[in-house]
Chain A
Amino acid sequence: MKTVVTSGKSGAFSAVHPAAAMVYFLAVLLISMFCFHPVLQVEMLVGAALFCITLQKRGEALREIGFYLPLFLMVAVTNPLFSHNGVTPLFFLNGNPVTLEALLYGVSLAVSVIGVLLWCKCCGRVMTEDKFLYLFGKLIPKLSLILSMALRFVPVYLRQSRRVIRARKAMGLFSGKGITDRVKNRMRVFVAMISWSLEHAMETSASMRARGYGQKGRTNFSLFRFSPADGVLLCGCVFLLAVVWIGRAAGFAAFSYYPRTGGIGAAPADLAVYAAFGLLSLLPFLLEVKEVIVWSCCVSKI
């Protein structure tokens, strides 16, 4: 298990094809945001926490607790102050009851908020900028090239603009006296940067033409390859999502907090929904564990 923690930033799940990863995150987030069943919520939180741990260093995870714990308490306590429903009043605050049910609902909300935050964090770590760009590119090929060019241009522009400002500063042109002077100066730099940008764009477009840009039948290359394993993962996600969704639509794995907290269903269909979502939310962690086991087997064989 130690290796799981030290595996650092990019876990096994980062190698998954962006499309499969995106579908996975959407599925988990969808369920996390709309299900307040305690079993599903615990699964969701545990899955998110384990996934997060595989994606970051140990110290980082510890420091995070300092953020999530107060957040948890605050969300949990806030709800009963606003909602007074529930059959078990604990005490009355200015004539309105503060109930056990509202407190439990608050706890559930807090779990949900923190779980969704953690999942989003994992999503941010796994779905890097270039993966999003790739997904966009699949939908709108032109857009992905434009985005890529924009991402290239922005730092170059900023650097040049800084250079111009420094050059002007060293010529004593940034007098710093009076706002009008400063605004005028900034405007001059900005106008100059527009002509510079045009100049730069001309050069870049020459480079593009020289490499055959503008011909028909342009392809879109990316480093990502959709492997059979990605296919299995994608189908698995869709299947598990369908099980949870259909099960819930049929009224299984339902739970209510008001006015009295209901019971946790234990019918076979309920259990199937729990199992499906449990598998779904633990998937990245399981992949990571598998990776570690395979790795240590390999090492031990050498």
Chain B
Amino acid sequence: MELLRVEDLSFRYPNAGRNALDGIDLTVQNGEFVLLCGPSGCGKTTLLQMLKKELAPAGEKTGRIFYAGAPQEDSADAGEIGFVRQDPESQIVTDKVWHELAFGLENMGVPTDTIRRRVGEMAGFFGIEGWFRQKTDELSGGQKQLLNLAAVLVMQPKLLILDEPTGQLDPIAAADFITTLQKINRELGLTVLLAEHRLEEIFPIVDRVLVMEDGRIRADDEPQHIAARLTAISPDHPMLRALPAAVRVWQEVRGKGECPLTVKEGRDFLHRHFTGSDAPRPEPEDPEKGDFAVELKNVWFRYEKDAPDILRGVTAKIRRGEIFCLLGGNGAGKTTALNVIAGLERAYRGKIVIKGKPIRSYQGNSLYRRNLAFLPQNPQTVFVRDTLRADLAEIPETMGIPKSEQADRIGQMANRLGIASLLERHPYDLSGGEQQKCALAKVLLSEPKILLLDEPTKGLDAFAKQGLREILRELKREGITLLLVTHDVEFAAETADRCAFLFDGEILSVDSPRRFFAGNSFYTTAASRMARGLWPDAVTCEQVVACCRAEESRTGRKTDFPAEGKL
């Protein structure tokens, strides 16, 4: 049965030059799990908001939306369509978990005894019992997002719409969240429409994928056929880069037959067609040498006298001009380590040396002038003024640069990062990716030699990540030392010169990404898990594809993949 039908929907924001949505045709069947993907700004969020009339933005709309056979305007119940957004924090309304769960039902005027039963049921289904009476503020990001989902589901919607719900979560919480979505879809038969950037886990479990671009739906098919569809539009369609590793490798080597979606399927595919006999020589071990921009010597840190240690003897040397990624799970102390290096927290034991001088010998703000800059996890926190230009001007002002020169510097920096057109905008009106570039521009204005970045890929889509990677490489070429703290193993594998693994307040291993990820069996990239056993050194999709190509050319076999059935 058809639950949702969109007919030739176009939409234009007031004063906008072009349509945000342009002739969208779409149907969603009852019980379907549909993934909506596409680059930032392609109109995903607008489309999803249009589907829920309470959230529909103001503007010029043409076309029609039918919900359960009736025009959208006639449907009554706000509870019929549930909506979960990206930011876990701002969606929570009340201070207690149980109250948040009951909030929607209270609004619908449901009697309290029914609320009691439904809330209890929902808490049981989600495993919320343990924190049912807690304050919402005390929850982790993953718990908050799960609560937002439960608070919507308790209203028993027929359709669940989610707009990048895992964007702000760490990979483990994100995987949990997606598993929950799958459970809801499978066990309750709930129809789910989900917009998402991070496709690795979600792609294999959905029924259908929609790819949007410039306000249009460019592809609408089962996940297995999406790569072929996109290739048909353009052989190097940018969206291809965002697909899961298995799909990318399969598409790059022009695989035939059923497209692998999961790591397991990708691994089977590779093993079936390649022998891995000519594995490249492992990279030589790389001695600790050269001059170091940052040195940590046996650093210990705790927040309070009686609190447990967060850092327990961290020792690391970061070379001048390298990109150093500090990886690790939640609560391993990554962000704390970064704060200690940035001088925002003080280690109670051990030594931190920045450019050959102990951190304590930097007086006043000298550490933050032409030395070290810090890009916080949430780029919004960098902005305090009404326009981006005024915000950027803060830095040269405090550095005592003459007025006449300030504008030049800001202009140069804006051009360099491609944000010149945004200078007169309010920083809060920018998209996540733009905000991050602008925040980066601001911290770079202090002309740092060392740049610290806390989770720079959080909430970014594949294109923005690609852009960030290019910027970081450019900065590296200029001789800036970059220290990243991240959850994102894929990004680290493709970007870093060296990676370090922080666990329980200690650094367990430091190595080049190839050696680092090849040495890990679980904490590694999807590409590495697929190619394990064939090319243990290949840790990114590019590397796996290169190995495949090398084998093809060596054997002289222009691989002609037999269709699956003939094997």
- Of B91, B376, B428, which contacts A207 at CB under 8 A? B91
Are B95 and A152 touching (Cβ within 8 A)?
yes
A172 touches B78 (CB 8 A): no
Number of chain B residues close to chain A: CB under 8 A = 69
- The CA of A155 and the CA of B94, in the complex, are separated in Å by 12
A221: interface (CB < 8 Å): yes
Contacts of A189 in B (CB 8 A): 384
Choice from B54, B94, B395 contacting A171 with Cβ under 8 Å? B395
The DSSP consensus for interface residues of chain A is: helix
Q: State how many angstroms separate the Cβ of B301 from the closest Cβ of chain A.
A: 16
- Pick the residue among B90, B111, B135 that contacts A219 (CB under 8 A): B111
**In the complex, given contacts A163-B376, A200-B90, A214-B107, what are 16 additional A-B residue pairs having Cβ atoms less than 8 angstroms apart?**
A152-B95, A170-B373, A170-B376, A171-B374, A172-B365, A172-B368, A196-B428, A206-B85, A211-B78, A211-B103, A212-B107, A212-B108, A212-B155, A215-B78, A219-B106, A221-B102
Query: In the complex, which residues of chain B have a beta carbon less than 8 angstroms from the beta carbon of A160?
Result: 381
Chain B contacts of A222 at CB under 8 A? 112
Contact pattern, A 165-182, Cβ under 8 Å of B = 1, otherwise 0: 011111111111100000
A79 to chain B, nearest CB (A): 43
Contact in complex: A167, B446 (CB < 8 Å): no
* Contact in complex: B91, A219 (CB < 8 Å): no
Interface string of A191-225 (1 = CB under 8 A from B): 11001100110011011111111111111111101
Q: Mark A1-17, 1 if CB is under 8 A from B, else 0.
A: 00000000000000000
Q: Does B498 interact with chain A (Cβ within 8 Å)?
A: no
Q: Is the CB of A156 within 8 A of B137?
A: yes
Determine whether the beta carbon of B52 is less than 8 Å from that of A210: yes
Given contacts A188-B385, A211-B78, A216 and B109 within 8 Å (CB-CB) = yes
With known contacts A210-B54, A210-B83, A219-B115, A203–B90 Cβ distance under 8 A: yes
B92 interface hit (Cβ, 8 Å):
yes
| A73 at the binding interface (Cβ < 8 Å) | no
Q: Is the CB of A211 within 8 A of B104?
A: yes
Question: At the interface, yes or no: A164 with Cβ under 8 Å from chain B?
Answer: yes
A215/B93 contact (C-beta < 8 A), A152-B137, A171-B374, A221-B116 known = no
Q: How far is the CA of A130 from the CA of B135 in the complex (A)?
A: 10
Interface size on A, residues (CB 8 A): 52
Tell me, rounded to whole Å, the shortest Cβ–Cβ distance linking B456 to chain A: 14
Query: Does B398 belong to the interface (CB within 8 Å)?
Result: yes
11 contacts across the A-B interface (CB closer than 8 A): A149-B94, A152-B93, A160-B381, A167-B376, A172-B446, A200-B89, A203-B87, A203-B90, A219-B112, A221-B106, A225-B116
For chain A residues 278-302, which have a beta carbon within 8 Å of chain B?
none
The distance from the CB of A90 to the nearest CB of chain B, in whole angstroms, is 51
State whether the Cβ of A145 lies closer than 8 Å to any Cβ in chain B: yes
A204 touches B91 (CB 8 A): yes
* Contacting pair A221 B93 (CB below 8 A): no
Please measure, in the bound complex, the distance between the C-alpha atom of A204 and the C-alpha atom of B93, giving whole angstroms: 6
Q: Does B378 touch A at the CB level, under 8 Å? A: yes
- Note all chain B residues with C-beta closer than 8 A to A78: none
CB–CB A212/B78 < 8 A: yes
Check if B251 is an interface residue, CB within 8 A of chain A: no
Q: B69-112, CB under 8 A of A: which get 1 and which 0?
A: 00000000111001101010111111110110011111111111
Decide yes or no whether A148 CB sits under 8 A from chain B: yes
CB-based contact A145/B442 at 8 Å:
no
Check B106 against A170 for contact (C-beta < 8 Å).
no
* Binary per-residue interface labels of chain A (232-254) against chain B in the complex, 1 for a CB within 8 Å, 0 otherwise: 00000000000000000000000
Query: Chain A's nearest CB lies how many Å from the CB of B331?
Result: 17
CB distance from A226 to the nearest CB of B (A): 11
Q: A164-B381, A192-B383, A210-B54 are in contact. Are A175 and B398 (CB under 8 A)?
A: yes
Within the complex, what minimum Cβ distance (angstroms) separates A193 from chain B? 9
B192: CB under 8 A from chain A? Answer: no
Q: Which of chain B's residues have a CB closer than 8 A to the CB of A225? A: 116
Give Cα A172–Cα B344 distance, bound, in whole angstroms.
Answer: 11
A192 close to B369 (CB less than 8 A): no
- In the assembled complex, the Cα of A296 lies from the Cα of B404 at a distance in Å of 83
From B54, B103, B119, B344, A170 is in contact (CB under 8 Å) with B344
Q: Is B376 within 8 A of A211, CB to CB?
A: no
Q: How far is the CA of A223 from the CA of B99 in the complex (A)?
A: 9
| Residue A151 interfacial (CB < 8 Å) | yes
Question: Does B46 make an interface contact (CB < 8 A)?
Answer: no
Q: When the two chains form their complex, are residues A167 and B382 in contact, meaning their CB atoms are under 8 A apart?
A: yes
Please, which residues of chain A bring their CB within 8 A of the CB of B367? 172
Evaluate whether A221 and B105 lie within 8 angstroms (CB atoms) in the complex, with A172-B365, A206-B55 already known: yes
Within residues 355 to 394 of chain B, which ones have a CB less than 8 A from any CB in chain A?
A: 364-365, 367-369, 373-374, 376, 378, 380-385, 394
Which residues of A lie under 8 Å from residue B428 when comparing CB positions? 195-196, 199
Say how far B48's CB is from chain A's closest CB, in angstroms: 11
Contact across chains for B94 and A145 when beta carbons are under 8 A apart: yes
Other-chain contact of B95, A148, A170, A200, A203 (Cβ < 8 Å): A148
Query: Scoring B residues 328 to 366 as 1 if CB is less than 8 Å from chain A, else 0, what string do you get?
Result: 000000000001001110000000000000000000110
Shortest Cβ-Cβ A-B pairs, 6 listed:
A172-B368, A212-B78, A192-B384, A203-B90, A217-B109, A211-B104
- Across-interface contacts of A130 in B (CB, < 8 A): 96
Residues 142-154 of chain B: 1 if any A CB is under 8 Å from the residue's CB, otherwise 0?
0000001001100
> Which of B79, B99, B367 has the most CB atoms of chain A within a 10 A radius of its CB?
B99
For B378, give its contact among A163, A174, A219 (CB under 8 Å).
A163
Q: Mark A125-156, 1 if CB is under 8 A from B, else 0.
A: 00000100000000000000100110110011
Known: A145-B94, A167-B374. A220 touches B112 (CB 8 A): yes
Contact A166 B93, CB 8 Å, known A211-B155, A219-B110 = no
What B residues does A145 contact at CB under 8 A? 94
Alpha-carbon distance between A177 and B366 when the two chains are bound, in angstroms: 13
CB contacts (< 8 Å) of B384 on chain A: these are 164, 168, 188-189, 191-192
Q: Which residues of B lie under 8 Å from residue A152 when comparing CB positions? A: 92-95, 136-137
Is B443 an interface residue when CB atoms closer than 8 A count as contact?
Answer: yes
How far is A71 from B152 in the complex, measured between Cα atoms in Å? 54
List the A residue with the shortest CB-CB distance to B103. Answer: A211
User: What chain A residues lie within 8 Å of B380 (beta carbons)?
Assistant: 196
Query: Are the CB atoms of A213 and B52 closer together than 8 Å?
Result: no
> How far apart are A129's CB and chain B's nearest CB, in angstroms?
9
Chain A nearest CB: distance from B103 CB in Å? Answer: 6
